[in-house]
Amino acid sequence: MSRQNSARADGKKVSSELFTLTYGALVAQLVKDFESDEAVNKKLDEMGYNIGVRLIEDLIAKGNVGRCHDLRETADIIAKLGFKMFLGVTPVVTKWSTAADEFSLILENNPLAEFVELPSGHENLNYSNILCGVLRGALEMVQMEVEISFVQDALRGDDTTELRVKFIKRLEDAIPAGEE
């Protein structure tokens, strides 16, 4: 505990409890403000996107990452660097499609959803949908268009939490000169 407190004191880490509760307060507010679960999911995805396009600069600035040249490398960086650095968990990369253009991230622990129970009547709520937006936004900034969705969610009684990442295309026109 003393070690962790010193990591917090140097200003790089915050209590995951505060983070989880803050996220919970946001979702609760959205559920109050929007009519349908679908609208909440959409808003969470939008907010995630806004976070993602900024978070990627953090990863580049503080994580010493170079440009990826294939999806396996990208998947590795997302899991071992991105998730590890920002959420303190390392998802398992698995279930590659034969064309190697799709994979899954399996989250053993989901720091957004710790101690959370979905309220009844919100069966369509994708509680952690913000993660889809974050990944979509971050990857778009490094000129990759992807589709992301939850295929399993432990919050809904699935065995585990699984995010599916599907590569659509490289955004050639957006690649800055000197970066191809």
Partner 1 sequence: MDKFDGTVRINKKTTNILERPLNKGRNEVHISSFALLFSEIVQYSQNRVTTVADLQTKLSDMGKSIGSRMLDVLVLREKGYKRETRIINVLLFIKTTVWKSLFGKEADKLEQSNDDDKTYYIIEKEPLVNKFISRQKDKGGLNCAYFIAGIVEEILFGCNFHCKVTAHWHKGTTFMIQFDESVIARDKAFDAR
Partner 2 sequence: MAIQSVFILNKAGGLIYHTDRYNSKNDVEKTFGYPLDIVLKEDDKLTVIFGERDGIKVGFSLLAVNGEELSNKQLPNGTDALDFLKDPNNYPVSLKFGRIKLKTNEKIMFASMFHTLFAISTKLSPEQKSSGIQVLETESFKLHCYQTATGVKFLVLTDPKQGPMDNFLKRFHELYTDYALKNPFYSLEMPIRCELFDTNLQKTMEQVERATTQYSNE
The Cα–Cα gap between 143 and 170 comes to 6
Segment 77-84 long-range contacts (CB within 8 Å, at least 24 positions apart)? 78/105, 78/135, 78/165, 79/105, 82/138
Among 71, 87, 132, 165, binds partner 1 (CB under 8 A): 87
Residues 6+ apart with CB under 8 A from 10: none
CB of residue 100 to partner 1, shortest distance in Å: 29
Tell me which of 6, 29, 67, 124 binds partner 2, using CB under 8 A: 67
- Asked if 176 touches partner 2 (CB under 8 A), the answer is yes
Please choose which of partner 2, partner 1, none residue 31 contacts, taking the beta carbon within 5 to 8 angstroms, the exact cut-off set by kind.
none
Among 159, 172, 173, 179, binds partner 2 (CB under 8 A): 179
**Could you tell me the smallest distance in angstroms from the CB atom of residue 87 to partner 2?**
17
Q: Does 18 bind partner 2 (CB under 8 A)?
A: no
**Angle, helix 130-141 to helix 37-63, in steps of 10 degrees:** 40
Q: Using CB under 8 A, which of 8, 54, 95, 169 touches partner 2?
A: 54
Looking at residue 34, what DSSP letter applies? -
Backbone angles phi and psi of 60, in degrees to 5 = -70, -45
Question: According to CB under 8 A, which one of 53, 85, 89, 171 is a site residue for partner 2?
Answer: 53
Among 30, 56, 148, 165, binds partner 2 (CB under 8 A): 56
Q: What are phi and psi of 115, to 5 degrees?
A: 60, 30
Q: Kindly determine how many residues on this chain lie close enough to bind partner 2 according to the rule CB under 8 A.
A: 19
**Residue whose CB is less far from partner 2, 9 or 61:** 61
Distances (CA, A) of 45 to 4, 52, 152, 166: 31, 10, 17, 16
- Phi and psi at 103, nearest 5°, equal -150, 170
By CB under 8 A, name the binding residues for partner 2. 53-54, 56-58, 60-62, 65-67, 141-142, 174, 176-180
